[in-house]
Amino acid sequence: MTRVLIADGQLSIRQRLRQMLERNRDVQVVGEASDASSTSIVTRQLKPDILLIDLGLCQQSVPLDLDVGGSAPQRTIVMLAAIDKRSIVEAFRLGAQGILPKTAAPAMWGKTIRRVMDGQYCFENGSVAVLLEAFRASFALQNSFAQQEYGLTAREMEIVAKIAAGNSNRQVGQQFSICERTVKHHLTNIFDKVGVSSRLELALFAVKHRLVAAEPAVRQPLEEEKDFPRRYGSGAAAAGIF
């Protein structure tokens, strides 16, 4: 049973949502809140699985533990009065795992709650494109600032990106058609400019300070077990090394 808390300033909306959600057998509305402070208090008291909150309240409720890192115990679905770019990006920034317009069809509420409970993100159609667009624009801006801040040249930024992706000096040289020694020379300059002393530190620094794009893990085909003996050698392992 998924325990849901509804937070919205309008009584009529809360009542309508409660009626709609309680038609789902696996959803239980455990409480309601009408303003930011009561939302914060009731959330901590009732510890719901899902906080269904109006964007306006969500913005006023900081700090409401709606952190993007997901360490808050409840998961958050933000309700929007109007679907526009600004609201979608703001809801996501505040930590929403689901975004729904208040006018969404009854079936969508139960579906969104179930998907968010499964650990997925569930956004209304069109929101994903808006978020990606906003992310790209934001990253391009930050990238430019970071480049200027550390005084890195365009070539150095390219090399940083390759190092952060895990390429060796030789691979970087091959990709840019320059010799390995030149790559090392670039790296020495980069180390001096950003204040690191190793390739690993540079890679972590670059991701953290957004010199390169953060890339969350994507789903890839599983490696087959048959690859293991070729890489490791089954004979030696079976005999035991200790």
Residue among 57 and 94 whose Cβ is closer to another protein: 94
Q: How near is the Cβ of 67 to another protein at its closest, in Å?
A: 10
58, 192, 205, 214 from 172: Cα distances, Å: 46, 19, 18, 20
List 37, 45, 70, 93, residue binding another protein (CB under 8 A): 70
Q: Which residues, numbered 162-221, are part of the site for another protein (CB under 8 A)?
A: 164-168, 198-201, 203-205, 207-208, 214-221
Q: Strand 122-123 to strand 98-101: parallel, antiparallel, or no bridges (unpaired)?
A: parallel
Q: Which helix (H) or strand (E) holds 187?
A: helix 180-194
Contact 14, 32 (CB under 8 A): yes
Q: With contacts defined by CB under 8 A, name the span among 7-15, 35-43, 138-146, 223-231 that binds another protein.
A: 223-231
For another protein, the closer of residues 22 and 201 by Cβ is: 201
Among 69, 148, 154, 177, binds another protein (CB under 8 A): 69
SS3 percent helix, strand, coil of the chain, rounded to 5, is 55, 10, 35
The helix (run of H) or strand (run of E) holding residue 3 is: strand 2-7
Name which of 3 and 18 has its Cβ closer to another protein.
3
Quick check: 163 and 187 in contact, CB under 8 A? yes
In the complex with another protein, which residue's Cβ is closer, 126 or 166?
166
Phi (first) and psi of residue 76, to 5 degrees: -120, 130
- In angstroms, what is the minimal distance from the CB of 216 to another protein? 4
**Could you say which of 18, 119, 148, 186 contacts another protein (CB under 8 A)?**
119
Q: Is 229 near another protein (CB under 8 A)? A: yes
Among residues 91, 26, 24, the alpha carbon closest in space to that of 56 is found at: 91
Give one DSSP letter per residue of 200-238, joined into a string. Answer: HHHHHHHHHTTSS--------PPPPTTHHHHHH-HHHHH
Collapsing DSSP to helix, strand or coil, 54 comes out as strand
Contacting another protein within 75-114 (CB under 8 A): none
Write out the two tokens for 48. Answer: 């719901």
Q: How many residues bind another protein (CB under 8 A)?
A: 43
Q: How far is the CB of 181 from another protein (least distance, A)?
A: 21
Binding mask 133-162 for another protein (x = CB under 8 A): ------------------------------
63 is a site residue for another protein (CB under 8 A): no
Binding site for another protein (CB under 8 A): 68-71, 118-119, 164-168, 198-201, 203-205, 207-208, 214-223, 225, 228-229, 231-234, 236-238, 240-242
